[in-house]
Each structure stands twice: as structure tokens, then as C-alpha cells.
Amino acid sequence: MKFESLAADLQAWLKDSIGRGCTFEMMEQSLRAAGYQPGFARQAVELAFTRLAPQAAARAADGTAPAQQEEGQPDAHSILAESPNTIETSDRPVHILMALNAPRIVLFGNLLAAEECDALIEMARPRLQRSTVVNAETGAYDVHEARTSRGTYFERGENDLIRRIENRIAEVIERPVEHGEPIQVLHYLPGAEYKPHYDYFDPKLPGNERVLAMGGQRVATIVMYLNDVVAGGSTVFPQVGLDVLPRKGNAVFFAYSSERGELDARTLHGGSPVAEGEKWIATKWIRVGPYRPL
Ligand code: PD2
Ligand code: ZN
């Protein structure tokens, strides 16, 4: 279903509610209270948030949105806008080692303990399969030469370790655990890479309709480094000339919206080929609304 196929008065109400800074949950609740079926209410709110710029939508989704934002002004409410030196989470201090404003890219130190990295790798190892990419024309998950890693994923809250890491990430980025996709663990051997790409979905392409229906647009990525790579394997941002080198326990976070609240093409990024050794990472993508697979 497309946003434009909703009744005109419903479209207007959804736009107005988002403009006033209503949260995803408030809007879903209001529609249900007004008699809409739960599934339809949720889908309508997702469609509305997906039509908006992800950053504005993300703010609205967790209730931190100001009612208005002046056009062209830097967004004071973006995720991790403040860059403290250290974020004290419930179980671990997480250090901010580098922060770039536009696009918003933050490098964390100490996000994961070495033992957590090792445990993720050992849990993933027997489950690895060739990674796929979403075909934006058909919606199918295709094997593609642009992405030559192997990987697997863990259900949200699948075990104590996954739950602990997900809770920590939620604290650091101040987004609900429910907005996160399952953690993926990826393994790159020498020569393996993920060519530059965007993690957000182009809403104009038909094949993306299904992935967008599972919690709306993605708003941010966290790439967690699980081992030290001998050579190569950096996460590159070619549009800003940034190269993040993998270091066990560190993680790079980036949000896809520009200062104007639009999808930011400067977040083009890739995993450069491993030259020597191997590379293990865990990724988490954050959605504008609660993620539920179809
Ligand atoms: O392996 C990486 O460093 C990397 C870089 C960019 C992984 C991803 N994107 C991804 O899985 O989306
Ligand atoms: Zn990516």
C-alpha cells in the first residue's frame, strides 16, 4: 500500500500529527481508538513516517521532537548531537573518539568488551551464509558481487548477550530497542568487501515497498568491529574522504539525514576489501518505527 492511496483526510491527519511532533506510538494508538484495525493503523503510521525525512521522523517517533524546526537550521535534536567524551551506559562507559557533523558520523570506543566480540563471532560462525542485498526492483534478496561477505543474524533478544548489547546500543543512541533490526554478524576473508552503497531504502523504487513496511525507513547504522584486521577492511565514506579503521570493540555510527532533514547522500559508505587477515563485524540498523519482520 502507498501513502497516497490512504483516504485524503487520513493523509492530512497523519501529516499534521507528525508536524506537531506526535510519536509513532501515540498516532498508532489514536487511530486504533478511532476504530481503525490494529494492522491498518500501524501500516498507515509507517507509511506516513516513511514519506517524511527520516531524521524528523525519528525525532517524532521517540517524542523528542520540537513542534517546528526552522528550514535549513542545524538540527539540535539529531541522534548523538552532543558528543560528550563518554556515555555512561548501565553496564559500561562508551567513549566517543571522533564525531563529524555533516553527515553525522560518530566513532565509539569500548562499545563492546573483547569477550563480547569473541562470543558473537563464535555464536555466528556455524550459521554463516553468503550475504545478500535487497533488489530494489523486485524486493528479492539477491547474492551480488558488490557484497562478498558471509553472515548471519540473531533475533532481537535471542539470548542474554544479544539482549545486553541491544540495550546498550539503545541507551547510547537514545532510541528504543524495538526500533532496531536484528543484529547481523558478517565475516570477510581476504578480498571480500561491500562496495559503496546506502543503507536507507529509496521509497520510489517498487522493490523497497516490502522492506519499508517492516518499521518504516532506516534512520541510522551501527557497525561494530569484532576483531583487529591485519590490513584493509576499513569502513569508507568516499563522499567525505573518511576511512574508519576496524578496531576490536569500537563501532562507527552514522545517521542518514542531512541538516535539512533529508536523506543524506553523503552517507554513501562501503566495507573496503580485506587485504590480509579476516574481518568480523556486527551491524545494527535502526528504523524510524518499531521493526517487525513480515
Ligand atoms: O563491513 C563494513 O565495514 C560495512 C560497511 C558498510 C558494512 C556495511 N556497510 C553494511 O553491512 O551495511
Ligand atoms: Zn552499509
127 in the same domain as 270: yes
| Domain coverage including residue 36 | 3-62
- Is residue 71 assigned to a domain? no
Q: How many domains does the chain have?
A: 2
- What percentage of the chain has pLDDT greater than the value 90? 59
113 in the same domain as 157: yes
122 in the same domain as 92: yes
What pLDDT is attached to residue 36? 81
Q: Which residues contact 89 (CB under 8 A, 6 or more apart)?
A: 168, 171, 172
CA of 148 to the centre of ligand 1 (A): 11
Atom of ligand 1 nearest to the CA of 269: 6
Q: Residue 102 in contact with residue 259, Cβ under 8 Å?
A: yes
Identify the helix (H) or strand (E) that includes residue 187: strand 183-188
14 in the same domain as 58: yes
Give residue-wise pLDDT tens across range 205-236: 888 999 999 999 999 999 999 999 999 999 99
**C-beta of 105 in contact with ligand 1 (< 6 A):** no
- What percentage of the chain has pLDDT greater than the value 70? 90
Q: Residue 149 in contact with residue 192, Cβ under 8 Å?
A: yes
What's the whole-model pTM score? 0.76
- Secondary structure class of 4 (helix, strand, coil): helix
Identify the helix (H) or strand (E) that includes residue 26: helix 24-33
How many whole angstroms separate alpha carbon 265 and alpha carbon 138? 23
148 in the same domain as 277: yes
Q: Residue 180 in contact with residue 156, Cβ under 8 Å?
A: yes
- The CATH code of the domain that includes 257 is 2.60.120.620
> Measuring from atom 10 of ligand 1, which residue has the nearest CA?
283
How many whole angstroms separate alpha carbon 30 and alpha carbon 14? 11
90 in the same domain as 151: yes
Give residue-wise pLDDT tens across range 142-161: 888 889 999 999 999 999 99
Question: Residue 38 is which amino acid?
Answer: P
Residue at a domain's end among 62, 88, 105: 62
Nearest bound ligand to the CA of residue 193 = 1
149 in the same domain as 48: no
Whether pLDDT at 56 is above 80: no
Whether pLDDT at 51 is above 80: no
